[in-house]
Amino acid sequence: MEVLLHQIDAFADAPFSGNPAAVMPLPTWLPDALLQQLAEENNLAETAFYTSELPPDAGAPPGEWPAFHLRWFTPAVEVDMCGHATLAAATQIIEDVHPEHDRVSFYTRSGWLHVDRTDDDEYVLDLPALASVQVEPDPALIAALGIDPVCAHTGQDEVIVVATEAEVRDATPEFGAFPVLRRGVILTAPGTATDIVSRFFAPGIGVPEDPVTGSAHAQLIPLWCRDLGRTTLSARQLSRRGGTLRAELTDDRVLLLGRCRRYLDGVVTLPD
């Protein structure tokens, strides 16, 4: 059996920037163990698998545009939400399969997610806004990050706020010292060239540092919109590759806008 493999950089300002995701369309679902092996072999932060077969609990598709069932795997586990691989999957579908459409929807563990292509060939990802609760910083996590926190929040991920962009950029976490986390930790601060900056670390699920994390911004944008009194923000993730997003908070949704760049198209031959 042969399966297509596309590697697409999401939230990419230029070649070799943004967050690379593997996108693998499937005619039908393969065994979960094989999906996990493929994700481990791809060795990217996320591999997105999709099929046109919607599960019974998805209900009717949300519109007349294309709709798919989408799942995401890190090299270690299946996850509940991934922004950049969703953007990459939508790019591949709109460019290769349904160029007549500018919207695609995905049924996922996080419900229905939508991606729209703009007239300028950018992509807008629609994610649920994720809540956070302010907490006392975890001393073990602060020590592992090696930073001086301003405040901390918890939700899908731990959020640690520091005072300056330089502190985010210069942090050198000791991943072996991380406590057990629900998923990962977002280190964030006000930006200089953008409204906010961040980095994302999730060694417990096989992603020591993610280059650009759409799902983390589903939690980060509501926090900063509240603190800055805004509903639109620019954001920069300060990983080595780096990536820029524009974000808007609308009621209970976060809209993330960015570009995608295709790196490769290939074929994987699966064993019998």
> Which positions are catalytic?
46
Quote the tokens at residue 155: 């939700």
Phi, psi (degrees; rounded to nearest 5) at 223: -65, -50
Q: Rounded distance, CA 180 to CA 141, Å?
A: 9
Which residue, among 23, 35, 72, 70, has the nearest Cα to 50 in the 3D structure? 70
CB neighbours of residue 72 within 10 Å = 27
Q: Rounded distance, CA 73 to CA 77, Å?
A: 6
**Residue whose token pair is 């999709």:** 50
Strands 67-73 and 78-79: antiparallel
